[in-house]
């Protein structure tokens, strides 16, 4: 369903974002999304590392 997004759709989405948030807010919004994605990725990596360090439970 969402796998076939073309250039026209991306341009339309960017135009709507520009109208909603304005040109001055878009870089700040993109930076915020990037920081959030990085924090999520780091948190998931820490969780996976913590799982690897735990000994298996005794049966």
Tokens found for residue 11 = 């341009």
Task: List, for residues 12-51, the tens digit of each pLDDT value.
Answer: 998 998 899 888 888 898 899 999 999 999 999 988 877 6
Task: List, for residues 4-18, the tens digit of each pLDDT value.
Answer: 889 999 899 989 988
Tokens found for residue 56 = 């298996």
Residue 41's alpha-carbon distances to 9, 29, 52, in angstroms, are: 27, 18, 17
Query: What global pTM score does this model have?
Result: 0.55
**Residue 5: what pLDDT?**
83
Q: How far apart are CA 41 and CA 22, in angstroms?
A: 29
Q: What is the mean pLDDT of the chain?
A: 84
């Amino acid at each position: 369903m969402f796998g076939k997004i073309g250039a026209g759709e991306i341009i339309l989405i960017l135009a709507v974002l520009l109208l909603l948030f304005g040109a001055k807010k878009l870089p700040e919004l993109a930076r915020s999304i990037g920081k959030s994605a990085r924090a999520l990725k780091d948190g998931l990596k820490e969780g996976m590392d913590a799982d690897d360090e735990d000994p298996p439970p005794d049966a």
